[in-house]
Structure 1
């Protein structure tokens, strides 16, 4: 048993020395899963296509009203001094006010920018979802390793109990209790395996691949020595808030476009009328065709539409600002909660670490008592259950710490 504990302490020292490497390995594994999710996720593709459509609308904005072309034939030809008019051909093009097309393009571009922020938000939410499932898988795997260690420890105690039974220092009941406890731990391990399959299926679904595919997660996560410090001001860079800035800007561009569209429109046209020559006399310009350039203007005199749109845009900007303030309050609340729960996780970890060390000391005392022939296997089971409880609580605290840190990263990075 002394050699066993020496081996355990040696392993712990190696784990501590390789702490930075472990964190780097965890970041690499999780980062690869997140990158794969970005590439394969149908949801990200949906938002990306929505952004591509919005970007294409910038090209759509560069348009002019349809060119009007008309032709008519005089059934009864009107007579003029230089001959009879046979037909009329007209072409007309209306032109928007100066800067209207540019304003239209700017508005479409601002809407595309808002959709691009949606892509960013979707990616951050997907990364957070992948991280949550990844840390849940870590928790299950870490618990299974702890259960294996405890089962192995109980098997060692079972051998000690069998030896004690042979020399009359223990009863067969003690052996049966140890075996029953092993069965319970094996059951917990198998239940965790089923939970792991469900979480793996959910994670594979986010990665858009076969739900039965195995996912490799890190075996050990250490509690960081120090917490990352940050300011609540960093929330201002959260895409969920930047989205409202982009929407506010799009409304401003919409108002600029509205003002341009509320200005007069100019029209340029040309009429062509072919004229027949007069046969009853010969005169200057006899049969000369008529070519008439035209200029027109369209003035929105009796249209209150543009005033109403301006008022709507003003109200819409106020609404967006209110929505942003409301969302900021929610994000601040979420950040404060995440910080609190992360700090709680560290407190729980430190407490469980102390409890586990004391339980180890109690175990060593029991082993020394065995060497003197006074071991109580009921105490052995009690200490083993306490150790397992502390180990599991410590794993849950580490998992909760990293989970809350992921939420914090989502909010401020």
Structure 2
């Protein structure tokens, strides 16, 4: 009676623990993983930076406006000269003056002007032709934004794949726990039967001890599974941003039911163009092409038109203002000496990018085929594991009958039970392996 009360109490506590857990489906786990992952947040910020860079490049189409102002006060006059009174006086006046007065007039008189002033001006310059640098710069900024989005997609695929692996790891451990429960029930029955036979004097005590040792082994495996399951849940909780919370997973498929053969294989030659990795290679080619064009544009003539307005006041009523329009043509003649090498360098980089596109496209097709081979292999392994379960169940049933008939020993029966447990565990591992391989294949073909 006391033992039954303890068992009921443990069941009650276990049910309360399960009730307190947050149960999540696979889709919810993936969503939370993407929302929480630092790589995704960094990718979002990279996209925002690329957007700002694109907007910054677009402003180069607009006129450049510059305002300047200058105010000064000098310690001495800026403009200095000497005046000769003898040259300034009219000759008739100089002759009429007494010679004594004329002698007192100095030969030169120092004179200065402009010791303070204010100057302000506004200039507007509109680029007309800059060798294609503005147009190609805007295109390059747009390519950078598209690259950031593609990089986020590849990061998201990696995050979702990791979340999927964590999910199936927990499912696998839960299914193995169910297998242990079934094995424990069988061993409990064997123990009762062996105990009855020993008590009746027609059974061997060694059989009873063998069963009890096997029960100890199963309990030891249970402890390891429980610890592994607890740790796996903690790892998943941290990965999806729910650290410190009790979580559990919803099993969306029945691992005990053999799934149909996957029918998702596609033409790999056509699927390459749908992958983010291939798009990144294309953008790399596009970026290197634009960089070459911009390098060429640096060494082409540039044309701009503009207008300006200026005002100045040098004191003593000398203030004035004027406006002007102008056009400029700049021809970088000497820069072609080094510029021709820079253009060749950019052209070689463009050729490298094109070759990488061709070579990596072939590698992407190889990866698709490899991932599909993994799917096919995982399904075949699952089918073999399913067949092994059926055979081990029949073997266990026969050994149970033979033991009751006295034609086999308890060790033979326990060995059959061990094989049954191993076959079920292999099936569980193969099932989880198949699901993750399917995800890897889908991602490799751009789905």
Instruction: Specify the alignment match of 1:33 in structure 2.
Output: 29
Conservation of the 8 A alpha-carbon contact between 1:47 and 1:118: yes
Q: How many residues align?
A: 375
- Displacement of 1:256: 4.0
Q: From the superposition, tell whether residues 291 and 398 of structure 1 become closer, same or farther in structure 2 (CA, over 3 Å).
A: closer
Q: From the superposition, tell whether residues 48 and 164 of structure 1 become closer, same or farther in structure 2 (CA, over 3 Å).
A: same
- Aligned with residue 161 of structure 1, among 194, 203, 207: 194
- Aligned with residue 39 of structure 2, among 33, 38, 43: 43
Instruction: Specify the alignment match of 1:58 in structure 2.
Output: 54
**Cα distance between partner residues in 2 of 1:402 and 1:344:** 12
Q: From the superposition, tell whether residues 195 and 319 of structure 1 become closer, same or farther in structure 2 (CA, over 3 Å).
A: farther
Conservation of the 8 A alpha-carbon contact between 1:51 and 1:115: yes
1:300 maps to 2:303: no
RMSD across aligned positions (CA): 3.4
- Aligned with residue 220 of structure 1, among 245, 254, 258: 254
Conservation of the 8 A alpha-carbon contact between 1:42 and 1:208: no
Taking structure 2 as the reference length, what is the TM-score of the superposition?
0.74
- Displacement of 1:274: 6.5
Higher mean C-alpha deviation, range 162-171 or range 237-246 = 162-171
- Displacement of 1:271: 6.3
Show structure 2 runs of 5+ residues with no match.
1-23, 82-112
Q: From the superposition, tell whether residues 91 and 373 of structure 1 become closer, same or farther in structure 2 (CA, over 3 Å).
A: closer
Show structure 1 runs of 5+ residues with no match.
1-27, 79-83, 277-286
Conservation of the 8 A alpha-carbon contact between 1:255 and 1:310: yes
Alignment deviations for residues 340-398 of structure 1 (CA, whole Å, 9 cap, x no partner):
33323222222232232222222222333455455521211111011111111111111
Instruction: Specify the alignment match of 1:231 in structure 2.
Output: 267
1:76 maps to 2:111: no
Instruction: Specify the alignment match of 2:235 in structure 1.
Output: 202
Q: From the superposition, tell whether residues 347 and 170 of structure 1 become closer, same or farther in structure 2 (CA, over 3 Å).
A: farther
Higher mean C-alpha deviation, range 267-276 or range 232-241 = 267-276
1:350 maps to 2:350: no
**Cα distance between partner residues in 1 of 2:321 and 2:281:** 61
Alignment deviations for residues 104-147 of structure 1 (CA, whole Å, 9 cap, x no partner):
32221111111111111111111111111111111111111111
**Cα distance between partner residues in 1 of 2:31 and 2:320:** 75
Q: From the superposition, tell whether residues 247 and 37 of structure 1 become closer, same or farther in structure 2 (CA, over 3 Å).
A: same
Q: From the superposition, tell whether residues 372 and 197 of structure 1 become closer, same or farther in structure 2 (CA, over 3 Å).
A: closer
**Cα distance between partner residues in 1 of 2:373 and 2:322:** 86
Taking structure 1 as the reference length, what is the TM-score of the superposition?
0.79
Conservation of the 8 A alpha-carbon contact between 2:307 and 2:323: no
